[in-house]
Structure formats: C-alpha cells, structure tokens
C-alpha cells in the first residue's frame, strides 16, 4: 500500500491507552440537522460522480435492512457480561488527559454504540481482515454522522482506514479508503465540506457536516500515530470548489510535501487551527534574556509562529491579539506588542506588511510604526 507522497511515513509503536469518559450517542440519528448552517446546500451536486476508493468485497450482503428501532439504540455498559467479541478501540480523543499529548477533538465513542450496532461494526471490520498485516489489529478511533453525495452515512475512522457506513446497517460499507493512501485534505473555509483525496490516483470522496474540524483532527491523529506524519491540507473558499481546487488548480506538490512544509504543518496542527495556511516563512533571530537566538518566523492567515531551527514549537501569537508593531530600520528589528508582552525579531521590513495584511483579513487593524532613527 501507499504512494510516493507518503514516503517517509514510519509505523510507530501504539500507545497503551486505558478506558476513559464516553461521549453520549443520541438515540436518533440526527441526519436531518446535518449542515443546516451551510450557505451553499447545493454544493454536493458536483460530487455525484465521486469514486469509490476501494472495491468492496463481494462477500458483503446485498440485501435491504430495516432501520434500527429506538430500543436497539439504547446504550449499555461496556463492562456488561456478553457472549460476543468486543471492538478493538483506541479512542485517542478520549485519553488526552492520560497521555498528555495529541490533538483535542471529540467524536462518537465506539464504546457508546449499542450492542447491536457494535456487532454490525465487527462484521464490517472482519470482512476487511484480509487487508491487515500479520499480527496487525484494526482499532476504531471514533464515528461521526456525515452526508456524502446527498446520502447520509456514518463515518468510521480507524487506525487502518476511513469508512463510510450505511446508517440502516452499519455492517455495510459504501466507501473505504486506506489511511496510508490519504495524501491531501481539501477543506472549505467555513469548515462545512471536506474532500479526502489520493491525488496520485485521483480518487476521492467528499463529505458535508457540521463536525469537519473534529473529523480532520481524528484523521490527523491516527495518521501521525501510524506514520509519524500529518496529512497536508489546502483550503478553498466554498464547499462547491473543493474538486476544482484539487484537480484544476496548479498545486505545488513539491512545496506541499517538502520537509519544511510538513514540519510547519505539524506545528500548526498541534498548536493552531485546522485549515490555517502558511503565508510567509523567514529565518530570524529573536531576543531572549538579552541574547539573539536563531529561529524561524512563520506567518499564517491567523497567527504568527516562532519555532527554533529544529522546528520545535516556541510561541504562537494570535493576530487578533497584536496591539501594534514597531519596526526599527537601523537594527532591522520588529517588535510585536501583545497585551503586556513584547516579542522582538530580526526581520526585513517587508515582513511587517505581510503581518499587517494577514491581520486585516482577520478584521484586525494593526498599527505599524516605522522608526528610522
């Protein structure tokens, strides 16, 4: 499995996670509420020819199922005695306080599914055991209700793949993509549409919901745990533009997958917001304890990041929190005033304008003072 874009991904040892608090599952599937706030509800029309990423095994039942009744959806205790095999769950999002690292997000906890639903999920995963390596176990991170190609689905994210399951029977798979094959995420600016894509094979599926932020974080978390690398993203203005953004716009893949961009992406994913795009990257020196220390200065659409020369995170400054910038020409020094804090960097004067422009896009006007003395 895999492709040239995934070069450098290495499987890592899984963390030993224990059970924690659960996210309650609603008794009725809330598909009628999906994407109510979307400004362009017709945007999914362009995805009618969306491709299935992997051929579903012929052993999958080809029959109609009735929807589960409310009584089938009653939650039960995971410690309850039962005579069936239980799901292998990893639930990264439920163990943040224990491992004290990773992304902060919330999905439907696998352990909060009803007993009948868990049995269906097990049937689904058993059908794809053939794709696992020797001794490899597929663990479930979480679920989310989504809409794809005008149809309602339950998305399941595991340590091996991303599934779109049919809500009337969770053992039936509409589409599936191997996690290692996910190379680009295209996100709409208002985060109501997400395209999960393998650019090499031009295979994709697009989803709409009001939970894109958490879904992207889950995909990033399982990808980083498995391969030591986050998935690059690009952002478009509207959900209806995600396909054209991927296939018709000239994307600089060398930049998207180079070592520096992936290192900066890691900083943004772990310390910033989903969908932040870098605008400027400059080498700099910053003043700390009276000494000038080498580092890297990154400007995104909503923040400034200071990282050291090994791309370790040092500081994030939200553009909305900047009061003013004072630039001293004689010393090429840019001082950023943020509340009671002052950060000083050795940078070219043009960086001030880049920061001011980025802040104006966030509806924040920053006063820039040029000191020519």
Q: How many other CB atoms are there within 10 angstroms of residue 179's CB atom?
A: 21
Q: What is the pLDDT of residues 256-283, one digit of tens each?
A: 788 899 999 999 999 999 999 889 999 9
pLDDT number for residue 265: 94
> For residue 130, what are its two tokens?
């053939």
Closest CA to 107 of 143, 140, 74, 66: 143
Domains delineated in the chain: 12-181+209-226 (no CATH), 277-371 (2.30.29.30)
pLDDT number for residue 155: 95
Exposed, middle or buried: residue 241 (CB in 10 Å: 0-12, 13-18, 19+)?
buried
Between 218 and 341, whose confidence is greater?
218
Exposed, middle or buried: residue 302 (CB in 10 Å: 0-12, 13-18, 19+)?
buried
pLDDT number for residue 166: 92
> For residue 288, what are its two tokens?
């700390």
Residue 16: pLDDT over 60: no
Question: pTM of this prediction?
Answer: 0.74
Q: Which residues contact 226 (CB under 8 A, 6 or more apart)?
A: 9, 11, 12, 159, 179, 180
């Amino acid at each position: 499995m895999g492709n040239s874009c995934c070069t450098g991904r290495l499987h890592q040892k899984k963390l030993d996670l224990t059970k924690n608090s659960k996210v309650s599952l609603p008794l009725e599937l809330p598909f009628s509420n999906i994407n109510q706030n979307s400004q362009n509800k017709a945007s999914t029309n362009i995805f009618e020819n969306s491709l299935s990423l992997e051929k579903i095994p012929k052993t999958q039942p080809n029959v109609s199922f009735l929807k589960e009744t409310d009584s089938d959806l009653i939650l039960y205790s995971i410690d309850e005695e039962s005579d069936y095999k239980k799901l292998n769950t990893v639930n990264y999002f439920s163990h943040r306080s224990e491992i004290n690292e990773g992304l902060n997000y919330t999905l439907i906890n696998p352990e909060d599914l009803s007993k009948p639903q868990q049995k269906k999920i097990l049937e689904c995963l058993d059908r794809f055991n053939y794709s696992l390596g020797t001794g490899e176990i597929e663990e479930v991170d979480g679920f989310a209700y989504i809409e794809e190609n005008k149809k309602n689905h339950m998305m399941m994210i595991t340590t091996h793949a991303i599934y779109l399951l049919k809500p009337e029977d969770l053992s039936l798979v509409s589409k599936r993509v191997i996690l290692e094959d996910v190379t680009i995420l295209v996100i709409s600016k208002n985060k109501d549409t997400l395209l999960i894509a393998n650019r090499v094979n031009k295979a994709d599926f697009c989803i709409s919901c009001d939970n894109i932020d958490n879904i992207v974080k889950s995909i990033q978390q399982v990808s980083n745990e498995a391969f030591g690398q986050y998935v690059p993203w690009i952002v478009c203005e509207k959900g209806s533009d995600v396909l054209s953004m991927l296939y018709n716009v000239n994307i600089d893949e060398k930049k998207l997958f180079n070592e520096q961009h992936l290192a900066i992406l890691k900083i943004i994913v772990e310390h910033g917001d989903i969908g932040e795009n870098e605008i400027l990257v400059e080498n700099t020196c910053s003043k700390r304890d009276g000494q000038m220390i080498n580092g890297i200065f990154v400007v995104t659409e909503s923040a400034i990041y200071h990282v050291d020369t090994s791309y370790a995170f040092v500081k994030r400054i939200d553009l909305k929190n900047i009061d003013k910038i004072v630039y001293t020409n004689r010393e090429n020094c840019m001082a950023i005033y943020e509340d009671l804090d002052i950060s000083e960097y050795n940078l070219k004067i043009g960086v001030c304008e880049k920061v001011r422009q980025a802040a104006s896009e966030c509806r924040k006007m920053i006063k820039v003072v040029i000191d020519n003395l």
